[in-house]
Structure 1
Amino acid sequence: MDTSESTTDDKTAPDDGAPGEQERQSKGWRRWAMDTRPLRRPAFRRLWSSTIVTSVGSQLTAVAVPKQIYDITHSSAWVGYASLAGLLPLTVFALWGGAIADRMDRRKLLLLTNLGLAVTSVLFWVQAAIGLDSVLTLVVLLALQQAFFGLNSPARSASIARLVPPEELPAANALGSTVMQTGLVAGPLLAGALIPVIGLSELYLIDALALCVTLWAVARLPAMPPLTAAAKATTGWQSVAEGFRYISVHKVLLLSFLADIIAMVFGMPRALFPQLAAQTYAPYGEGLALGLLFAAIPIGAVLGGLMSGTFSRARRHGLMVIAAVIAWGAAVTGLGLSTNLWVAVAFLAAAGVADMVSMVFRGAILLSAATDEMRGRMQGVFTVVVAGGPRLADVLHGTVGSAAGVRAAIAGGGLMVIAATLVLALATPALREYRI
């Protein structure tokens, strides 16, 4: 036995005579780098890998649709109307899709909805390729796409808890959120580069091909049927109502939604970015300023994801959400007080890091605090909050910015986020005390 142990030591010891140094360095790296433990699990790895492709492909369509509408109408108002037209089907079908995800095999639902998204992208490509130039057709297809996305998103998010253990949920959320945020940066940049080269219609085709990759990956996932007979019995909008009652009873879920609503409604000033670029940061070049302002938050979120090892192992999930939302509010306040573009971009990037931390732990709370038969409905509500909050913020900040001034509106909104979150944390201990 002694000889065997000596042989093993000889084979693994570093040549420099410092045994274990490389291992210690590796552990030091892992303390702050992205936690990749969930990728060791083949099923989650397939789901996550498909997201890499579709996160960029979906952004190509997200750029192509408003570009095509503007080319047809030469009106930014029509672009806004089309975006609003997609909100109603997204809201309705995300809530309904969450209920469906709790009563049928989530793998089957993912296959059906991804197929629907792929067909919709093909239809986008066909109408552009034949030069239909119909705004009505684009709006109908956009509404159809958002309906399929609403059905798909709750099932996709709820599936994660069936593929990784509870202690790896923050890491899994960080991996997924980082990819999505990377798509928000890379997708529009790629679209801007490709449109002059290959044309608008081919962007839709690339998205359709990316969704085919998703279909292949989802087809290789394990079956994920409901775990209880009660889950199979729930149907229709009665099931959606049960989801809202479940949220009202489980305070930590309700509070996690409220924390996100506070951050987004009071502290998302994107509606004021054009005015900031045209007035406050005009000396830097309006186009450069506008691009940097819109890109800074997702860039910060990506950086936060890449360094998620620094926080993804934390067990006090509720306290992490509170701290992240307060940090978001502080960064937005700093943006409102900044007169230098690069300082403003730095504050927005810091806000992106805080947003990543908040997303990771809010997602983990939703998946760990809810039972499996309710996870789909919780994710449906989450999808509505994430989609609706920023749109409400656009109205609020646009109105206040016009009345009180853009910088005052932004800084005031950031301070409101901090104040409201502190009140929420002090008045309701359920969130700040939640841990796994």
Structure 2
Amino acid sequence: MKLFIDVRPLRASPEFRRLWIGGTASVLGGQLTVVAVLTQVWQLTQSTVAVGAIGIANAVPMVVFGLIGGTLADTVDRRRLVLFTTIGQIVTAGLLATQALLGFQSLAVVLGLVCLQGTFSGLGAPARRTFAARLLPEHLVRAGIALIHISFQASMLVGPALAGLITAQWGVATCYVIDAVTFTIGLYGVVRLPSMLPSRPEGSSRPGPRAIGEGMRFLAGQPVVRGALLTDVIATVLAMPIALFPAIAAERFGRPEALGLFMSAIAVGGIAASALSGVVTRAARPGAVMLAAAGVWGVGLAGFGLAQPLWLGIACLVIAGAADTISVISRGAIVQIATPDAFRGRVGAVEHIIGVSGPDVGNFRGGLVAGVSSPAFALVSGGALCVVGVAHLAGRNKALRRFSTATVPAPQ
């Protein structure tokens, strides 16, 4: 049935199938490590500041080396680059396991290894984003991205709970060991890929500031790709709700335990949308679908800010989570299809950086607004601003609004 997620990419490309299986395993293992690091740092320090430093230790190298990885992905064999960074992640997971087993009790060591893990992840992420468009025919790229996204959502839902059980029973070192094993499964999926040399036009720059500048100029001249990335900025920076969940759970509903329900509701909505994404991935105009979904994300969060019964608030978050997933799938396909292969690494780096930093900036914005008003006002105003921002973008960017696979520019 066309309603359900399109699994044709798994049948059409054995390479994509192996990559998807390995990527699913790696993301699940990565979730185990996220929880294990949080647990270990808290046990070492009993400090929320130290726990917060984990985010900085991971995000900074992800952003810095993401830009470098983008230029490398448009210059070298992308398969070799991802092989190198995956091996680096395996070694780092092994070092995390070693320090935990030896009982180093050093915050600096843990944060240093988190930073190293973020470095390898940032270097490899832009190249990884190009694989679906290279391995799949154009009409299956959106379906392939939907499959990648549903495995990510499922790992986000299952991974933390599984990590909690493992750390309680066998300790954080076991999570790190499992992470190393799952990265090894991911490595197998990459090893079996064909060579992934990028297309390099005559006179293109070597990796460095000039190559980054070329990528920025390409984005400036491409309203479809630029608009797709700007939609993500609007949705995350203006309407990210996570930082407001604890206050809403405690102050409005008087149930701090509702925090977990809020987080799960978004994930459940995302998984449901991915499972029923067949219509979305076959839609003729992914640009219009993405814009509409980003608007619904804002409406859902504004509704959550106004909701009084707990069940209604959760329902709004499920709707928001589903809309977010539809927007992410459509945006990823637009970026990969509308970007010539010669620029996919650098554009993927920008998309990666927005994905890493946008939610953090949005949560910070929400916290500031709530601090001078209220959590409910921060949610409602953020959702409303998101809707207005997306509507304004849709009105001004006709190319994005009307984008379809039939209007894809010829490869350069």
TM-score of the two chains, using structure 1 as the length reference: 0.91
Distance in 2 of aligned mates of 1:385 and 1:317: 20
> Which structure has the greater CA radius of gyration?
1
Question: Are 2:380 and 1:425 equivalent residues in the alignment?
Answer: no
Gaps of 5+ in 2: 406-412
More displaced, 296-305 or 382-391?
296-305
Residue 210 of structure 1: which of 161, 176, 182 is its match?
182
Partner of 1:48: 20
Q: By how many angstroms is 1:151 displaced?
A: 1.1
Paired amino acid for 1:414 = G
Q: By how many angstroms is 1:229 displaced?
A: 5.5
Q: By how many angstroms is 1:233 displaced?
A: 5.2
Partner of 1:325: 294
Question: Are 2:371 and 1:393 equivalent residues in the alignment?
Answer: no
Cα displacement string for residues 174-205 of structure 1 (whole angstroms, at most 9, x for unaligned residues): 00001001111100010111111111111001
Percent same amino acid among aligned pairs?
A: 37
Partner of 2:247: 275
Residue 96 of structure 1: which of 68, 91, 107 is its match?
68
Partner of 2:380: 411
Paired amino acid for 1:73 = T
Paired amino acid for 1:323 = A
Partner of 1:10: none
Partner of 2:409: none
Q: By how many angstroms is 1:228 displaced?
A: 3.4
Cα displacement string for residues 349-375 of structure 1 (whole angstroms, at most 9, x for unaligned residues): 111111111111111111111110100
Distance in 2 of aligned mates of 1:232 and 1:49: 34
8 Å CA contact 2:74, 2:200 repeated in 1: no
8 Å CA contact 1:102, 1:231 repeated in 2: no
Question: Are 2:308 and 1:339 equivalent residues in the alignment?
Answer: yes
Q: By how many angstroms is 1:222 displaced?
A: 1.0
8 Å CA contact 1:102, 1:232 repeated in 2: no
Residue pairs, 1:78-227, within 5 angstroms: 78-227=50-199
Residue 380 of structure 1: which of 349, 361, 365 is its match?
349
Question: Are 2:331 and 1:362 equivalent residues in the alignment?
Answer: yes
Equivalences, count: 404
Cα displacement string for residues 296-344 of structure 1 (whole angstroms, at most 9, x for unaligned residues): 2122111111001121101211111110101101100111011222221
Q: By how many angstroms is 1:68 displaced?
A: 0.8
Distance in 2 of aligned mates of 1:202 and 1:55: 16
Gaps of 5+ in 1: 1-29
More displaced, 393-402 or 336-345?
336-345
Residue 256 of structure 2: which of 278, 281, 286 is its match?
286
Change (3 A) 1:186 1:231: farther
8 Å CA contact 1:103, 1:232 repeated in 2: no
8 Å CA contact 2:77, 2:197 repeated in 1: yes
Q: By how many angstroms is 1:106 displaced?
A: 1.0
RMSD: 1.2
Partner of 1:35: 6
Cα displacement string for residues 148-184 of structure 1 (whole angstroms, at most 9, x for unaligned residues): 1111111111111110011111101100001001111
8 Å CA contact 1:319, 1:434 repeated in 2: yes
Distance in 2 of aligned mates of 1:340 and 1:199: 39
Q: By how many angstroms is 1:231 displaced?
A: 8.2
Partner of 1:3: none
Partner of 2:230: 258
Paired amino acid for 1:239 = A
Q: By how many angstroms is 1:415 displaced?
A: 0.7
